[in-house]
Amino acid sequence: MAGTGQIHSNTMRTRGQTISAALAIGAATLMAPIIGGLATRRSVGTWYRQELELPAWNPPSWVFGPVWTTLYILMGLAAFLVWMRLADRAGRPLDRSMKLPLGLYASQLALNALWPVLFFGLRSPGTAMVGIVLLLATICATAWSFWRVRASAGLLLLPYLGWTLFAAALNAAIWWLNR
C-alpha cells in the first residue's frame, strides 16, 4: 500500500505542476497584449488613424482584436504542448532541454510586447521596424525549437509568423509613406 500512495502522491504533484505550468504560460502570454494594449490605446485613434498616411491595404481596426486573440491562444497552446512534452514526470525542476524552447518563447513574447511600445508609444515606425525584424527572427527560432520538440507546437506558431510578416510589411509601408 505504501508504494501505491507514493505513485498517487507523484501523480497528484504532476497534475499540480501541470496546472501551475498552464497558468504560468497563460499569464505570461497575456502580458504581451496587455502591455501592447496600454501602448496602443492612446495613439490608435489619434496619431495612427488621423495623422499618419496609411497604405490602401491597411486592415480596418476591428480585424486586429480577433486576429491577435486567436494568435495568443495558439501561442499559449503551443508553449503548453512543448512544456507537456518536455516536463519531467518525476517532478524535477526545469531542465536544459526545456530552457531553449521556453526561453525563446519568453523572448518572443517580450519582443511582441515591445513592438507596440516602439510603434505607438514612441510613435516611431522606423524604430518599430527594427523591433519587428528581431521579433520575426525570434518567432522563427521559437517555431523551429518547438517543432523539434513537438511538430504540432511548431505548426501552431505558423499563423503568428504569417501575421507578423504582414505586420512587418504594414510597418515598412507606414514608415515609407511617412518618412
Query: How many other CB atoms sit within 10 Å of the CB of residue 10?
Result: 13
5-9, 10-14, 107-111, 159-163: least confident range = 5-9
- pLDDT, tens digit (0-9, with 9 covering 90-100), for 21-31: 778 888 888 88
Ordered domains of the chain (ranges, CATH):
2-177 (1.20.1260.100)
Please check the confidence at residue 106 and state whether its pLDDT lies above 90.
yes
Task: Provide the whole-model pTM.
Answer: 0.83
pLDDT > 90: percent of the chain: 63
Q: What is the DSSP code (8-state) at residue 44?
A: I
132-149 as b/e: b if 16+ CB within 10 A: beebbebbebbbebbbeb
